[in-house]
Amino acid sequence: MKFRLDRDDLADSVAWAARTLPSRPSIPMLAGLLVEADEHGLTLSSFDYEVSGRVTLPAEVDEPGRVLVSGKLLADIARAMPAQPVDLSADTSRVELRCGRSTFTLPTLPVEDYPVLPDMPTSSGSVAGPVLAGAVAQVAIAAGRDDTLPTLTGVRVEVTGSVITLAATDRYRLAVRTFDWQPERPDLDSAALVPARTFAETAKSLAGCELVRLSLAGSGAGEGLMGFEGGGRRTTTRLLDGEFPKYRALLPTESATVATVDTGTLTDAVKRVALVAERNTPVRLTFSGDEVLLRAGTGDDAQATEGIEGAVEGDPVEIAFNPSYLLDGVGAVGTPSVRFSFTSATRPAVLTGVADEPSDGADPYRYLLMPVRLSG
């Protein structure tokens, strides 16, 4: 095998393909990156039996072939090489990279032992890359990290015609986001549970694509997979099993108190007040009149208090939240102001963006946050 291509193209593509390689692979071959060159250009692939990645890019191919090399090492080398064309040649045991006056020689892994990548499921539709990346980022923050509860580590994807709804929860908070897309069939009705970490990383990596094609479970070949494709890059991931919580019943339909606060001001205030909050200690917020009062710390411990402006409609509310969870939600709304809707101080609050109101009146992003029980 022998080919030449631009250093930046190689470094970018290798980094993308190698991003999901396992740090502790169950077998050595899974730490490898499959490099294939033919008359159509260069293809780089990775696979760990759960997530696959494949990127194609143009290259001047003199001799076609395929070889398996350490993905992390190749990514480090490609990133460190000087900004000049890269010449790569390989035989059955070694790979040589030349760039300017730099030369690297890598051992190969047995390519015949590398697993076959899954086929891309049938395309279900497309969505703008920035829309997908933003929506997934808003929702994935609420997904659980406890692998003993695998169902909660996923993002629920629900498709009804031209609308997609994403939802994630770790039992302490719930994030829901809806957005429009272009389905292949107007009557498409499907649902899947996608690993949140993979979903977020993949959507972020495709954020620069004008369109990303989504392939949902149940839409054809590749049952049990979800696929993403855009800009010459494609990823598949296995879906999670299990029943996702019936989250819609948790979202209140009415509110006794509604407060609107500047997002940046609230974020800075929570960060300052939380400096004195010990691990797992909440920040208290009192919503009343035209002010939001934040407090943390009690007794002989360090204490902090800060008041900020806010527009509060309804009964005064004193409530406490985990500061990290609160900051996640406030930061995710993506609007200059954030709206808090309360039914009572002991019930979850719903955070929405003030400017995020589509024509049908529904909120495309809702972040439901459980309060922390106040002592006394």
pLDDT tens digit sequence for 112-167: 999 999 999 899 999 999 999 999 999 999 999 998 999 999 999 999 999 999 99
Most distant pair of Cα atoms in the chain: their distance: 77
Q: Which residues contact 228 (CB under 8 A, 6 or more apart)?
A: 202, 203, 206, 212, 213, 214, 215, 234, 235, 236
Partners of residue 368 on adjacent β-strands: 174, 350
Give 73-84 as a 3 state SS string: HHHHHHHHCCCC
Inform me whether the pLDDT recorded for 224 exceeds 80.
yes
Find out whether 256 and 264 touch, Cβ atoms under 8 Å: no
| pLDDT tier at 213, thresholds 50, 70, 90 | very high
| Pairwise CA distance, residues 287 & 294, whole Å | 9
What are the tens digits of pLDDT across the range 151-160? 999 999 999 9
Q: Domain-by-domain residue ranges, the chain?
A: 2-113, 125-248, 251-369
Inform me whether the pLDDT recorded for 221 exceeds 50.
no
Q: Tell me, what's the pLDDT at 367?
A: 98
Residue type, 298: T
What are the tens digits of pLDDT across the range 287-321? 999 999 999 987 778 899 999 999 999 999 999 99
User: Which run of H or of E encompasses 365?
Assistant: strand 365-369
Decide: residue 376, CB within 10 A, 0-12 exposed, 13-18 middle, 19+ buried: exposed
> Interior CA angle at 321 toward 196 and 201, to 5°?
15
Cβ count within 10 A of residue 304: 16
Q: Tell me, what's the pLDDT at 104?
A: 96
Phi-psi sector, 163: left (phi>0), alpha (psi -120 to 50), beta: beta
| Pairwise CA distance, residues 269 & 338, whole Å | 14
Do the domains spanning 2-113 and 251-369 agree at the CATH topology level?
yes
Inform me whether the pLDDT recorded for 376 exceeds 60.
no
Architecture in CATH for domain 2-113: Roll (3.10)
Q: Which residues contact 243 (CB under 8 A, 6 or more apart)?
A: 151
CA atoms within 13 A on the CB side of 110: 5
Inform me whether the pLDDT recorded for 84 exceeds 80.
yes
Instruction: Tell me if the domain spanning 125-248 has CATH number 3.90.850.10.
Output: no
The values of phi and psi at residue 333, to 5°, are: -65, -30
| pLDDT tier at 72, thresholds 50, 70, 90 | very high
| Pairwise CA distance, residues 76 & 16, whole Å | 12
**Cα–chain center distance at 232:** 20
Cβ count within 10 A of residue 40: 12
Q: Could you tell me which CATH number the domain at 251-369 has?
A: 3.10.150.10
**Looking at residues 2-10, what average pLDDT do you find?**
96
**Looking at residues 185-212, what average pLDDT do you find?**
95
| Pairwise CA distance, residues 250 & 245, whole Å | 10
| pLDDT tier at 229, thresholds 50, 70, 90 | very high
| Pairwise CA distance, residues 314 & 297, whole Å | 27
Inform me whether the pLDDT recorded for 360 exceeds 60.
no
Q: Tell me, what's the pLDDT at 230?
A: 96
Inform me whether the pLDDT recorded for 362 exceeds 70.
no
DSSP 72: H
With H, G, I as helix, E, B as strand and everything else as coil, classify residue 37: strand
Closest to 337 (Cα-Cα) out of 370, 358, 309, 361: 309
| pLDDT tier at 66, thresholds 50, 70, 90 | very high
Mean predicted lDDT score pLDDT of the chain: 92
